[in-house]
């Protein structure tokens, strides 16, 4: 298992660089991933997406489709991609500590 060091925190990550267990997630993880995702500053809307993803994952054990994410946040598709340029699957889920989506993504 690979580990990542970031400002005094250690995270266990899988082969795709996703956090290995949802329980290991902390706010510092988000700061670490945002650098790779090319996001300069995190605002309230980023956090809203992250919180919605986490709530949904806790209840359902899977990541929501982007449709559900938009319903819950009231954000338009275009706006979700403005917030997370690599998208809800690989960008936002990674930051929120969810596992990598399955399929060819």
Partner 1 sequence: MRQKSQNAIAFNESFKKRTNRQHVLSFAACAHCGTCNDSCHYFLATGDPKMTPAAKMDKIRQVYKAQKDWLGRLMPTWVGAKEIETDEELLELQDIVFGSCTGCRRCTFNCPFGVDTAALVGLARSCLVDLGYAPEGIKVVMKDQWEIGNQMGISKEEYLDTLEWVQEELQEEFGNPDYKVPIDKKGADFVYVVNPREIKYDPRSLQAAFKIFYYAGLDWTMGSEGWDNTNFGLFSGKADLGGHMGNLAYNHAKKLEVKRMIISECGHGLRSTKWEAPNWGKANPLPFEISSLLELMVDLINIGKIVLDPSKNPYPVTYHDPCNLSRSCGITEEPRFCLNRACVDFREMIPNRGDSYCCTGGGGAMSMSEYTGRRLEVAKVKADQIRKTGAAIVATACHNCVDGLSDVIKNYNLRYDYRDSKTPSLLRVCNVCELVAEAMVIPAEIKKTAAKAPQNAIKGKKVLVIDDEPDIIVFIETLLTDAGFKVVTANDGMTGLEKAKTEHPDLITLDITMPGKSGIQFFRELRSSAETANIPVFIITGAIDFRQLMYQKAVQAPDGFMMKPINPEVLLMTVNKILEKSVRNKTVVN
- Contact track, partner 1, 1-20, x by CB under 8 A: -------------xxxx---
**Would you call 93 a catalytic residue per the annotation?**
no
Smallest CA-to-CA distance from 62 within 70, 71, 53 is with: 53
Residue with Cβ nearer partner 1 (8 or 85): 85
As beta bridge partners, residue 11 has 4
Stretch that binds partner 1, among 4-12, 21-29, 47-55, 62-70 (CB under 8 A): 62-70
Query: Which residue's structure tokens are 């275009």?
Result: 78
Alpha-carbon distance of 44 to 89, in angstroms, equals 19
Alpha-carbon distance of 27 to 98, in angstroms, equals 14
Catalytic residues: 104
Which residues in this chain contact partner 1 in the complex, by CB under 8 A? Answer: 14-17, 36-38, 40, 65-67, 70-71, 76-78, 81, 85-90, 100-105
């Amino acid at each position: 298992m690979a580990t990542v060091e970031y400002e005094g925190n250690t995270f266990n990550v899988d082969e795709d660089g996703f956090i290995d267990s949802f329980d290991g997630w902390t706010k510092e993880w988000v700061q670490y991933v945002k650098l790779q995702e090319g996001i300069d500053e995190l605002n309230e809307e980023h956090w809203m997406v992250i919180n919605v993803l986490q709530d949904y994952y806790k209840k359902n054990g899977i990541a929501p489709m982007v449709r559900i994410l938009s319903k819950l946040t009231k954000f338009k598709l275009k706006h979700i991609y403005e917030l997370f340029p690599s998208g809800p699957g690989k960008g936002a889920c990674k930051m929120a500590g969810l596992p990598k989506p399955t399929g060819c993504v």
